[in-house]
Amino acid sequence: MTSEALDIAFNKAVQSINEHTEPFPADVLLRLYAYYKRATNSENRPSSGKPLISAFKTNALFQNRDMTEDQAKQAYIDTVNQYFLYRK
């Protein structure tokens, strides 16, 4: 997949998540959060009013620290596709 095609697919996946109105499982949200942050190169320290949530976000980012931006975009796309394929 070309870089341009990957960007288009990534943006469509982000849009589909943003337009989805049902709640997501916490593990899916954390993966999407970490992949999105890595894909957009915006890995600032997570902030939350709740320390436990910040810890989970930090851990999710840490687990993806060796991914490239393109790998993170593809992982985000794959996670979105898998969620919509298998959700009930």
CATH assignment of the domain containing 9? 1.20.80.10
In this prediction the pTM is 0.87
Full residue range of the structural domain in which residue 68 is found: 3-18+25-86
CA gap 32, 26 in Å, rounded: 10
For 17, residues 6+ apart whose C-beta sits below 8 A from its C-beta are: 32, 80
Tell me which amino acid residue 24 is: F
How big is the CA angle at 2 (ends 73 and 32), to the nearest 5 degrees? 10
Please give the mean pLDDT across all residues of the chain.
Answer: 89
Q: Per this entry, what is the length of the chain?
A: 88
Number of domains in the chain: 1
- Which tens digits make up the pLDDT trace of 45-75? 666 667 788 888 888 888 888 999 999 999 9
CA gap 9, 3 in Å, rounded: 10
CB 77 within 8 Å of CB 54: no
